Amino acid sequence: MTHFEHANITVPNIDASIAFLAIAAPDFRVKADVTPKGEKRWLHIGNNNHYFALQEPKDIKTFQDQRNPYHDIGVNHLAMIVDDLELKKRKLLEAGYRMNGDLVNEPYRKRVYFFDSAGFEWELVEYFTDDPNLRYQY
């Protein structure tokens, strides 16, 4: 069976990404944080099974994200399965993060979308069943 291991994302500020993930995925820990001399900073943050490889652009002054999500080719959002979605939602709102739309309540799951400080969209999902036929009803 195939499982997600990691995603590699260039972000404008690694520390801001860590702050968002500390709330959204509190079981994640920094596994590596490296800035080779004259190179860009990169970091791995995650748990024992999954992680995000984050890197900063070498020259943030010239870095621009010109993609229009859901219109241009590329990643639109990243989703994480979480426990206690309501708590995470409240903490993210208290920290000043912006929701995209309302909380979606479905019979066997809840979903909410948030933007981090860099404008990346994250979907947080809490499931109430392990049955894939019920989890993934569309």
Render pLDDT for 63-91 as a digit per residue (tens, 0 to 9): 666 777 777 777 889 999 999 999 999 99
Could you tell me which CATH class the domain 6-60+75-135 is placed in?
A: alpha beta
Q: Which is it for the CA torsion 73, 74, 76, 80, positive or negative?
A: positive
Write down the pLDDT at residue 75.
Answer: 85
24 token code pair: 């959204």
Write down the pLDDT at residue 137.
Answer: 78
Whole-angstrom distance, CA of residue 17 vs CA of residue 118 = 8
Residue ranges of domains in the chain: 6-60+75-135
pTM of the model: 0.88
Q: Helix H segments across the chain?
A: 14-24, 85-94, 132-135
Write down the pLDDT at residue 124.
Answer: 96
The angle formed by the CA atoms of residues 136, 6 and 19, to the nearest 5 degrees, is 95
Whole-angstrom distance, CA of residue 40 vs CA of residue 9 = 13
Write down the pLDDT at residue 138.
Answer: 73
Taking 50 as the pLDDT cut, the residues of the chain under it are none
